[in-house]
Structure 1
Amino acid sequence: MLIYNTTYHVEINDARNFVIWLNECYIPEAEKTGELHNPRILRILSHKEQESECFSLQWEVEDSAVLHSWHTKCGARLNEEMLKIFKDKVIGFPTLMEVIK
């Protein structure tokens, strides 16, 4: 089992709308393929800055081939949509992690 994590750095004025968009648009669309499971959004407390907030969106995924398939079918399109809506007010970077225990 792998965890696909994306950490987002969001300007403070857009943070609330960004979380709403993740919940109402991004997550439902991402789940449609059936390849990513058990999403959760977390607020990152250790990197708090005055003008921004950081969030983590985590998914469970079977393996890297399934993740690649999802990214090709859905993920790239969702990232483009996010850029259209939030422009440079949201920056994200992905991390793929393996569950050991």
Structure 2
Amino acid sequence: MIIYNITINIHESVHDTWMAWINEFYIPGMLNTNKFNKARMVKVLVDEDMGGITYSIQFESPNAEVLNQFYREDADLFERESRKKFGELMLTFKTELALISEH
């Protein structure tokens, strides 16, 4: 399993609009690509010097091949939509994580 992690810092001025969009469009849309088995969203419990509120959204993909298929077929749409809606009020970085063990 590969975890596709998106860390997002969202400006307070658009937080509520962003939160609704994430829950109504972004996460369901990502899951509807059928490239992820499940998603979780967590709040990062640290105060950022730059302000804003930070979240991590983690999508579980069965393997690297399926995740690469997502990059080829779907990623640009989600990137364009989020930039169009929130622009510079949303800062993101993405990482791929491999699950080693669960206890």
Q: Please give the TM-score of this superposition, normalised by the length of structure 2.
A: 0.89
Match of 2:27 in 1: 27
Match of 1:100 in 2: 100
What is the one-letter code of the residue matched to 1:100?
I
Q: CA deviation at 1:62?
A: 1.4
Check the 8 A contact 2:37/2:62 in 1, yes or no: no
Gaps of 5+ in 2: none
Q: CA deviation at 1:68?
A: 1.4
- 1:50-81 deviations in Å (ceiling 9; x for gaps): 73000111011112221111122212111100
1: CA distance between counterparts of 2:12 and 2:51? 5
3-state SS of paired residue (1:36): coil
Check the 8 A contact 2:6/2:93 in 1, yes or no: yes
- 1:22-52 deviations in Å (ceiling 9; x for gaps): 1101112111221112111111012445730
Match of 1:40 in 2: 40
Alpha-carbon RMSD across the aligned residues, in angstroms, is: 1.5
Shifted more, 12-21 versus 42-51: the winner is: 42-51
Check the 8 A contact 2:6/2:57 in 1, yes or no: yes
Q: How many residues align?
A: 101
Gaps of 5+ in 1: none
Match of 1:52 in 2: 52
Where is the strand percentage greater, Structure 1 or Structure 2? 1
What is the one-letter code of the residue matched to 1:18?
W
3-state SS of paired residue (1:51): coil
- Between the two proteins, what is the percent identity of the paired residues? 25
